[in-house]
Structure 1
Amino acid sequence: MNINGETNVYGIIGNPVSHSLSPLFQNYFLELGQLNGVYVPFHVERDSLTDALSGLIALGVRGVNVTIPYKEDALRHIITDAESAMVGAINTIKFEDGQTTAKNTDWIGVKDALIGIGAGTGLEDSDVLMIGAGGTARAVIHALENMNAVKISICNRNTERLNQLLAHARLNYPRVKFTSIPWEHTEVEQASNSASLVINCTSVGLHGEPFPFAIKGKGFAFDIVYEKKGFTSFCQQAHKCGRVYADGLPMLIAQGAASFVWWHGGQTPDKLATMRWIEQKLGRSQMLLPGWEAAG
């Protein structure tokens, strides 16, 4: 990487942000594309989001990803597309020609990751269980509806947040049947037994804490949380119950690739090659991604 007076700056804003793997693979994308740019993390305190966005513009930063806890808050500050407005959160911002625009590529990352692990078909004939109702849950629902899912059950510890998500989902995705599940072992495990796909949309496991439910049943289990060794507490439970599982690393790479294309144009970076490169850097085993391998 050669930084000079013409190097374009990109980054990620969040709190915390020091754990993020985005700088690792976004700089890899820049290197592969032979682009004069650098991608860096920006820690932003919660009461400083407006000032941070103004500062990024003033400094000539070209674009940023947005992570926890700003994906919903940032939406109120920026012009966005109809799709991101429907999701209700953004994760990518572009500063170009005096304009600040934003979009959501998280849902693209969810869809691509599910296709990658082999869970991209048959959702119109099966049940999906979502655990958690945070900001990323809306992107997950958008992806599932795009993949023809018609029955989605959701549980969340905070019932107010769950009801808000259900109201949003029923309004925007009327062809999908949404069901609420109590945050109780018996109820969750019964719903899991009948679901071909279980998705963790909580942050449980981000700091190594145990996952509260067994992920019973057959099929797939997908965690939006990623862990350097690829074995989050949710994935551990899924493994015990015999499910095909994946942590959030393929989603992270896929949403980042979509952001990269929006900023720079051109072809989508090779997601599978990037996944293998990062796995090697982190010293983790290769994840089975038959969908990505079949796509070449």
Structure 2
Amino acid sequence: MVLRLLIPLLMVVVGVGVAAADLPKTAGTVNHCLDCHPLHYPERGSCTDCHRGFAGTKRLNIAHQGLLAARYVAFTLPEHPLAVSGRQLLKDYACRRCHRSGNQGNLLAADLDLAQQTRRPEELEESIRNPVLFMPEFHFYESQRIALVNAILEGGQTVPPPEQEQPTVVHFEGAEVTREFQFEKHCGGCHRALTARFGGLGHGLIGPNLSGIFSEFYPQSFGDEQQRWTVENLEKWLKNPRKVRPFAQMPPLELKQDEFERICAELQHIPPE
């Protein structure tokens, strides 16, 4: 009780000037966060509403359990520049072509809505900085990585039960492909793609990553009018890329009809007949 009375008095002395009624509390207990940290955004409730952790104890190892650093809580302020930037980066770089975030996207790789429940924000940022096999090297700046982590945390605030199974295919560097895929044969030298049925295909880094190419989450980059990639559009592109985009560097690719259909089946996650 004495501590609760002393905190607002001390804050007035140092110039903060916040009334005792404005001090955020946690479950009716004293907010010990204020023993060390100045109060900000009092209208948003308790410190733990944004930063998580546990405010009802002075034991730092307990109080800081699951604590979110300030740079990772911009998502709690929807109009914060980091929150706005993160949402735009998530869209511009088509993260949902492989991941689910905000209950939207393909499940070709980790579900970001669920990953944040078992991974610290620092780990999420590191996974963006140092991507795993088959994840593109985006070379984001630190500020971009922090913005993306904020977008991931924002998307997973309310996570419904998953509607489909999580990806279970594990990829190893240098592993040999034991089955003949038309994508590997004709496209894999320049491109890579994650597929739900066959896992990762291809090994090239010259061309763009084609994971989820036929889905709504893939960048609309076909032609000058920025159209979606469909089976028909892919066929036009392969027959004569420069007819679609005059300065395209990719040469035409001659394929038999059954070879083209097999490639589309592998990319669409439909087993070939």
State the TM-score bracket (shorter-chain normalisation): under 0.3
- Compare the two structures and name the one with the higher strand fraction: 1
Structure ranking higher on relative contact order (CA contacts 8 Å, 6+ apart): 1
Q: Larger Rg: 1 or 2?
A: 2
TM-score normalised to the size of structure 1? 0.26
